[in-house]
Amino acid sequence: MTSPELSHLQLLTMVGELGSIGRAAEKLGISQPAASKRMDQLERRLGLRLLDRNSRGSALTAEGKAVCQWAEKVVASFDALLVGAAALRADLDNDLRVASSMTLAEQFVPRWIGALRRQLPDVVVSLRMTNSKQVAELAAAGEVGLGFVEAPSVPRGLSSRVVGTDRLVVVVGPDHPWARRPEPVGPAELAGTRLLVRESGSGTRETLERVLSDAQAAPAKPLMVLDANAAMRAAVADGAGPAVMSMLTVRGDLEGGRLVDVPVTGMDLRRRLRAVWSTSRPLTDTEGRLLRIAVQSYRSTPTRSTSTRSTSTRSTSTRSTPTRSTPTGGTPTGEAVSPRP
């Protein structure tokens, strides 16, 4: 015997409650012939006569009354399942798991989460800070609902949305020889210099390596590998050596004179900052809200100049180009969500 369909059991319980197939059909929003057909199918599947049909209506047989009682429990259990699933969806929607690259986590994400909590005071947010590669892996695996990365490309299996732009800069301590050099640094010289770099998987390091690769310049062995922006800034300021870092990260040090921005030539060090999430599921309402906050917050940030040194004698450097403006002063490209199957 094949199992009866839930809709057939719902009809049976409604007939038992209302006393006629016609009224039950009307209550369920189906035609009477369709309801009669369902009852016939149910009786055939169970091998029982469930209804006595006459000109005055339909009445449950003794077998029908017993089956109706069992059917009520099945229908009630299914209703409970739907209610429970809805509650679980609500819990998941209010439990927001986010991962972010270091630069975005230091500069933007906590402020975006604060704006979200003002809209949704009951939301519980967990934020994991790591490098861009690991953020992408967490998002692809569904371990976080939304990730923020600074890598130059988006791995397959992720959808993305641009939430801002940034620019990498070559920085040294005030006493480093490059702090006073009149000419800009080119790709070959930068690649041949041992640098302080972030760990493998960092979006900053990946961007630098791609820029040097595009210029057909192989990077030298790193002078030091660090996994935190704060440690890199301190090491560079103390004279450990040059580094390539996000303007977002070092702006305060440049303005305070603790670091010096070395001009470069022949390299485009701009990059996009993105939100990423798995293509295997749509964003929840809460995740969508956070994404909109990120985009809108970036768009509303006023333009600021970040130039910290005179450019009058540096006509060949990128200091005189439009890319010197603060990355947070721009506007997102408006790039649509782009799935990468």
- Mean pLDDT, the chain, as a whole number? 84
Residue ending a domain, among 93, 112, 136, is 93
Q: Are 272 and 165 in contact (CB under 8 A)?
A: yes
Burial of residue 129 (CB within 10 Å: 0-12, 13-18, 19+) is middle
Angstrom distance (rounded) from CA 252 to CA 171: 12
Q: Note whether 71 and 109 are same-domain residues.
A: no
Host domain of residue 44: 6-93
Q: What is the pLDDT of residue 234?
A: 95
Q: Note whether 71 and 187 are same-domain residues.
A: no
Angstrom distance (rounded) from CA 236 to CA 169: 13
CATH number at residue 136: 3.40.190.290
Q: Note whether 69 and 155 are same-domain residues.
A: no
Q: What is the pLDDT of residue 329?
A: 34
Q: Note whether 243 and 307 are same-domain residues.
A: yes
Q: Note whether 73 and 99 are same-domain residues.
A: no
Q: Note whether 81 and 99 are same-domain residues.
A: no
Q: What is the pLDDT of residue 1?
A: 61
Is there a domain that residue 160 lies in? yes
Question: Which pLDDT band, with edges at 50, 70 and 90, does 310 fall under?
Answer: very low
- Residue 199 vs residue 59, higher pLDDT: 199
Q: What is the pLDDT of residue 122?
A: 84
Token couple for 123: 């939301």
What's the structural domain count of the chain?
Answer: 2
Which residues, 6+ apart, have CB-to-CB distance to 132 below 8 Å? 101, 149, 150, 151, 201, 202, 203, 206
Q: Note whether 89 and 202 are same-domain residues.
A: no
86-93: long-range contacts at Cβ-Cβ below 8 A with a sequence spacing of 24 or more?
Answer: 92/284, 93/284, 93/285, 93/286
Q: pLDDT per residue over 237-253, tens digit each?
A: 999 999 999 999 999 99
Q: Note whether 287 and 193 are same-domain residues.
A: yes
Q: Note whether 89 and 139 are same-domain residues.
A: no
CA quadruple 186, 191, 192, 198: dihedral sign: positive
Residue ending a domain, among 66, 93, 120, is 93
- Residue 252 vs residue 321, higher pLDDT: 252
Is there a domain that residue 337 lies in? no
Task: Specify the 3-state DSSP secondary structure of 77.
Answer: helix
Is there a domain that residue 185 lies in? yes
Is there a domain that residue 335 lies in? no
Is there a domain that residue 339 lies in? no
Q: Note whether 213 and 126 are same-domain residues.
A: yes
Which helix (DSSP H) or strand (DSSP E) does residue 127 occupy?
strand 124-130
Q: Note whether 205 and 195 are same-domain residues.
A: yes
Token couple for 215: 């210029």
Angstrom distance (rounded) from CA 78 to CA 80: 5
Q: Note whether 128 and 259 are same-domain residues.
A: yes
- Residue 79 vs residue 51, higher pLDDT: 51
Q: Which amino acid is at 195?
A: L
Q: Are 308 and 255 in contact (CB under 8 A)?
A: yes
Residue ending a domain, among 93, 121, 155, is 93
Task: Specify the 3-state DSSP secondary structure of 231.
Answer: helix
CATH number at residue 47: 1.10.10.10
Is there a domain that residue 336 lies in? no
Which helix (DSSP H) or strand (DSSP E) does residue 290 occupy?
helix 285-299
- Residue 55 vs residue 96, higher pLDDT: 96
What does the angle CA 109 – CA 166 – CA 242 come to, to the nearest 5 degrees?
A: 110
Is there a domain that residue 334 lies in? no
